[in-house]
Amino acid sequence: MDVHEYQAKELLARYGVPIPRGGVVYSPEQATYRAKELGGSAWVVKAQVHAGGRGEAGGVKVCTTDREVNEVANQMFGSRLVTRQSGPEGKLVYRLYVEEASRIQRELYFGIVVDRSTERIMVVGSREGGVEIEELAELRPEALVRISVEPALGFLEFQARELAFALDIPYELVPQAVHVFRSAYRAFRDLDAAMVEINPLVITDSSAGASELVALDAKMSFDDNALFRHLEIAELRDRSQEDARESHAADRGLAYVGLDGDIGCMINGAGLAMATLDMIQLAGGAPANFLDIGGGASPDRVLKAFRAVLNDQNVTAMLVNIFAGINRCDWVAQGVVDAFAAIDVRIPVVVRLAGTHVEEGRAIIAASGLPILTADTLAEAAELVVTAARREKVLDGHPA
Ligand code: ADP
Ligand code: MG
């Protein structure tokens, strides 16, 4: 689960990461009022959306009068901000953050992620902040400093110091840097985060006093499976920023993942899901989504899952692939037959059943007289559904 910049900043600040003064606002009037309250002569108005790359997309604006703050806020509120991370529809802007403008001397990158290959938390830094890290990692991987954290020891002071030196942080600021890095790490650990990113972490200009380190942007995302022990964070969930297909399914207790293709998939278990997606790709198709019905799914649950898969307008054919252990093929088959009765299913549906009560399940499908395509193996099922999806496209007038 992602949270907004201002929420991430608030959480990090609690652990000791310095952030600029600012406040969230819900209307242009509030924006002007906030700017006045903050005082000073320059403010930054920032669209709060769950996507990075706001700066280059016009979602971060420096203003020097309260009238300008008001105008910028007026333009941003209610708009959909399209950034390189938001997807083509963009994200709805209905909260803004107004903060004091900092004088920047240098922009650095600081992040914490879970590295799946080493199964460790990894702290990442770069002298080149402000730019997108994925791009930097691809073009110039040597510009990234990576530090792997030993789970039993945590992120140690000497490691934080090494990172500070690698980022060329001036000597007098090293203790502060160590404090910032380790505070962010503590926040990551304590709150069961999946990612923390401070980009940019800036060294301020020394013209108005001593330089300091400040987190000008912050991003955090959290492990969904740990949210039950952080109710305060679970409450920060903002549905307006999520994939509508995924929240619809989550509300019904179904695990759904939206993808870009046109074949809808209903599966049990994440491992079988991965295998099914691979087989579809191998057969030349592209999955639109996959929905995991989990174990012991009742016909009613299967019906709900069916609806969730078909909810996606891009789906032109659907594959039901069940390898039943705790599940029962006859219940799944009944759910599929019920779905045809309850929903106007206009696309080809391929069903492949294996495992517990498979004979009973196949008999229910056969006896239904419905135009359901069946297959015995996964490879066969994948071929069938890809061919069916292609045919639908041709019938629809799109070249396959
Ligand atoms: P995004 O990463 O979504 O583009 P950022 O918050 O990183 O948004 O803002 C983009 C850029 O705007 C930053 O790299 C920084 O140069 C500038 N910026 C952001 N906040 C401030 C601020 N408070 N004061 C001065 N400049 C800022
Ligand atoms: Mg940023």
List domains and CATH numbers for the chain: 1-19+103-242 (3.30.470.20), 21-101 (3.30.1490.20), 243-395 (3.40.50.261)
Which CA distances in Å does 1 have to 15, 116, 129, 266? Answer: 20, 18, 24, 23
Nearest ligand to the CA of 44 is: 1
Q: Which residue puts its alpha carbon closest to atom 11 of ligand 1?
A: 55
What is the pLDDT at residue 394?
Answer: 76
* Catalytic residue (one of 109, 185, 383, 392): 109
Ligand 1 site, residue 250, Cβ cutoff 6 A:
no
95 in a labelled binding site: no
Nearest ligand to the CA of 5 is: 1
Ligand 1 site, residue 50, Cβ cutoff 6 A:
no
Q: Which residue puts its alpha carbon closest to atom 22 of ligand 1?
A: 101
What's the 314 CA to ligand 2 centre distance in angstroms? 32
197 is catalytic: yes
Angle ∠(273,239,293) on CA atoms, nearest 5: 25
**Rounded CA separation 117/238 (Å):** 31
What's the 217 CA to ligand 1 centre distance in angstroms? 6
What's the 67 CA to ligand 2 centre distance in angstroms? 25
**Rounded CA separation 46/62 (Å):** 9
What is the pLDDT at residue 207?
Answer: 85
Q: Which is the closest atom of ligand 1 to the Cα of 216?
A: 20
What is the pLDDT at residue 135?
Answer: 86
**Rounded CA separation 212/23 (Å):** 21
Ligand 1 site, residue 131, Cβ cutoff 6 A:
no
Nearest ligand to the CA of 130 is: 1
54 in a labelled binding site: yes
Whole-prediction pTM: 0.80
217 in a labelled binding site: yes
359 is catalytic: no
What is the pLDDT at residue 131?
Answer: 82
What's the 354 CA to ligand 1 centre distance in angstroms? 54
Q: Which is the closest atom of ligand 1 to the Cα of 199?
A: 7
What is the pLDDT at residue 398?
Answer: 61
Residue ranges, the chain, pLDDT below 50:
400
What is the pLDDT at residue 399?
Answer: 55
Which CA distances in Å does 231 have to 194, 196, 202, 237? Answer: 16, 19, 31, 10
Give, to the nearest 10 degrees, the angle between helix 174-190 and helix 157-166. Answer: 120
